[in-house]
Structures are given as structure tokens and as C-alpha cells.
Amino acid sequence: MDDSNQAALSRSTVLVTGAAGYIGSHAVTELLRQGCRVVAVDNYSNSSSEVYARIERLAGASFVRAEVDVRDDAALDKLLSQHRVDACIHFAALKSVSESMAQPLRYLDNNVGGLLTLLRVLRKHGVQGFVFSSSATVYGDPVRVPVPEVASLNAVSVYGATKLMGEKILQQLTAITPEFERPWRVVVLRYFNPVGAHPSGQIGEAPRGVPNNLMPCVAQVAAGLRPKLNIFGDTYPTPDGTCVRDYIHIQDLVAGHVAALRHLLGDGASLTLNLGTGLGTSVRQLVETFMQVNGVAVPYEVVAPRAGDVAQCFADPSLAHQVLGWRAHHDLADMCRDAWRWQCSRPRSHA
Ligand code: NAD
Ligand code: UFG
């Protein structure tokens, strides 16, 4: 790691949108730990400000927070007039694939409209270092795995389309620098399947209602909050017939963001990178590992496949290692252990 980049990071102030959410809360905790100042923004549409007190306790540091919608340019403008920031990590978005198909305009407005407004206000305030949360969903059904960044892109859902549009908007901005303007420098991070929680058990994923994603479902079944897990299909062309994904520990994912920021603050070039482990894990393997490492039962039943699921998707993460020196360190057992610790210790209001 370059010491001057680390020094730039620990002197910096970072605007974090979607800061109260699953990934945002872990990122804010780590940024504070790295010595950064943080300006946190969220509209709490899928989270609660209660998490901030736990972040401050964990990090032993405080930060600025504001209830702001990223589509509200006046509120963003006011905030950035009060706090000078060096870079932005943009997590704020709606993320349910099924909901995006039922409410396409809401998703386009929030995710694409929100991005455009945020970029406009950032430019006004001279902030042109930007990290964008994208998703492996932009690869659609990949032709080959592991998937490299140069693979063809094909978003199947409206949610996926909002991520692809976001990437394209950012590509346009980084490709052209009008005269007398500072160039944008953007790192687009395509996350595979973030799971697990902070090892303290103090923060984690708190989905509202019935979770869509596998790990929170598994943890809730293990806790007895739901009677059984539905495994969506076991006749896929994979080793055990269930779908294969690239699960990545939230702490590794967050470390990828810190590395991306260090790169940008050290005047690094714009990049698009996969954040995954490079390992494919089947649904059945994840459930078996969860039961084994935590010593709990997860009753399950195989049901019909879920519409839109692809058989296999896992990353080629070598580019992130090459350019950022980043790689994932936690294994599936760590992910299952930390997800379970969070499930057992989470505040009742989030149960
Ligand atoms: P999350 O829902 O837990 O967090 C998103 C946060 O953004 C929430 O706190 C929500 O209240 C806030 N938000 C949404 N719209 C907003 C708006 N208009 N203004 C201000 N705040 C707003 O989701 P997450 O899992 O932490 O995801 C963070 C980002 O990562 C999202 O962009 C998501 O699309 C992307 N992503 C997530 C996954 C995953 O599996 N968790 C995978 C790939 C990509
Ligand atoms: N699954 C089950 N039972 C469940 C939930 C999930 O069997 O109750 C299976 C799914 O069929 C899939 C696998 O577990 O095969 C993983 O499902 P997730 O919903 O956890 O993750 P996905 O890979 O389907 O989707 C996730 C995010 C999307 C994102 C995509 C690619 O939820 O937002 O990764 O990054 F687009």
C-alpha cells in the first residue's frame, strides 16, 4: 500500500449516501476506523437512523449525518455548503429485483434520477471523486464463469437496468472533460453477493418483511422466525443442481471500497471492477456450511425455481487485485458465523 495514499485517505472527508443501509453502515464504520471524516446521508426508506449510535460506539468516533434524499438538490447543496467533502461513495438506491418489476418508474426515478441529481450537486462543489455501487446483475446470465469485467452486459430486471444506466452515465462523464473543468474520476464496483455482518454482531443486514436474499432467510429459519427455507430449484446444470453464486463477506466488500477511495485520492484513473471472491458456492453448500459452523438446524424444502435466477454467476476478481491490491480474505464459514452472530444479537426492533 502506498503510504501517501493512506495519508490522503485518513485526512479526507467522505460523503456516504445510503449510509444507514446494510453496506453503508459497515462502510461508515470502517472509514471512521481509517481516520476519515464522514458526512452520512440517507432518507431511511429502507433503514433507520438508530444504526448510527451503534456505528459510533463501534468506531469510537462521531460523524455528521443528515436525513436527505439524494434527489433533493437543494438539501444536498446546503449540506455540501456546510461540509467540504473530498469524495463520495454512493450506496443510496432501491435494490429489490421483484419490486423493480412492479414499480419501474419508482426505481428509475430513485436510482437514476438520484444519481444525476447527486452528480450535479457534487460537480457544483468541485467533488469529482466518486465510487458507485453496481452489481453483478449487469452481467445477466453470464456466457462463461468466472465473469471478467469485459464480459457482455445485459440487465434483465428494471433494477439491473438502473445499475447499467448508472454505469453508462458515469462512463460518459469520465470520457469527456469540458474545457476548464476538473475531470471526474470514478470507480464502479460490481458487487457479487454480499453477506455476513460486522464481527462484533452490532451491525448487519436488517431486511424489512420477508427477506429476498438467501443468507438472511437461512439465518431467520435457523432462529425459528420462519418454519423452513425454500430452495428455489435443484435441477440447474451445476454440480448439485442448486444455483451457484459468489458470496463475499461484507467486511471484504467494504475493504474494496476503502482501497478504491485510496486509489482515487491518490489521483488514480477511473476503473470498473468486480468485487467477489472468485469462488462459486451452491445454495445447498451454503446451507450445509451454515448448519455445520453454527451447530443449528435449517430445515429446508426444494421448491420450483425462482423466475429470473441464473444457474451460475461468480467473479473473476483478478483485476481488483492487480490495480488495487485488494482481494477477499474471509471464507464461507466466516460469512455464516458472522451472519448468525448478528441474527442472535440484533436489536429486537430489527428482528
Ligand atoms: P440497503 O437498502 O440496505 O441500503 C441502501 C440505503 O439507501 C438505505 O438505507 C435506503 O434508505 C437509502 N436510500 C435509498 N434511496 C435513497 C434516496 N433516494 N436518498 C437517500 N437515501 C436513499 O441496501 P444495501 O444492500 O446496503 O445496498 C447498497 C448499494 O449496493 C445499493 O446501491 C445496491 O443496489 C447495491 N448492491 C447491493 C447488493 C446486495 O446484495 N446487498 C448487491 C449488489 C449491489
Ligand atoms: N435462494 C433460495 N431461497 C431463498 C432465497 C434465495 O434458494 O429463500 C437462492 C436463489 O434462488 C439464488 C441464490 O439463493 O439461487 C442467491 O439468491 P439471492 O437472492 O441471495 O441473490 P441473487 O444472486 O439472486 O441476487 C443478488 C442480489 C441482487 C443482485 C444479484 C447480482 O439480491 O440484487 O445478487 O449481484 F442483482
In a domain, 75, yes or no: yes
What residue's CA is closest to ligand 1, atom 22?
92
Point out the ligand 2 atom lying closest to the alpha carbon of residue 160.
36
CATH number assigned to the domain comprising residue 54 = 3.40.50.720
Give the closest residue (by CA) to ligand 2 atom 4.
Answer: 214
Does 296 map to a domain? no
**Per-residue pLDDT reduced to its tens digit, 200-223:** 999 999 888 889 899 999 999 999
- Is the pLDDT score of 268 beyond 60? yes
- Ligand nearest to the CA of residue 158, numbered in listed order: 2
pLDDT at 96 over 80: yes
Q: How confident is the model at residue 296 (pLDDT cuts 50, 70, 90)?
A: very high
- DSSP symbol at 145: S
For the cut 70, the answer to whether the pLDDT of residue 239 exceeds it is yes
- In a domain, residue 300? The reply is no
Domain that holds residue 177: 3-195+247-276
Per residue in 107-148, pLDDT (tens digit) is 999 999 999 999 999 999 999 999 999 999 999 999 999 999
Indicate whether 158 belongs to any domain.
yes
Cβ atoms of residues 240 and 232 within 8 Å: no
Ligand 1 center to 23 CA (angstroms):
7
Query: Relative to the alpha carbon of 65, which ligand is closest?
Result: 1
% of the chain exceeding 90 in pLDDT: 92
Nearest to 242 by CA among 330, 325, 319, 301: 301
Q: Tell me, using a 6 A CB cutoff, whether residue 244 lines ligand 1.
A: no
For the ranges 90-94, 176-180, 229-233, 319-323, the lowest mean pLDDT is seen at 176-180
Alpha helices in 11-113 (DSSP H): 22-33, 51-59, 73-82, 97-102, 104-107
pLDDT attached to residue 1: 59
pLDDT of residue 348: 56
306: in domain: no
Q: Is 159 a catalytic residue?
A: yes
Considering the domain boundaries, does residue 337 fall inside one? no
pLDDT for 351 beyond 50:
no
Whether 349 has a pLDDT exceeding 80, the answer reads: no
| Integer Cα distance of 259 and 225 in angstroms | 37
pLDDT at residue 181, rounded to an integer: 85
The domain tally of the chain equals 1
Q: What does the pLDDT read at residue 209? A: 86
pLDDT at 346: 78
For 132-142, the pLDDT digits (tens) are: 999 999 999 99
Contact 316, 148 (CB under 8 A): yes
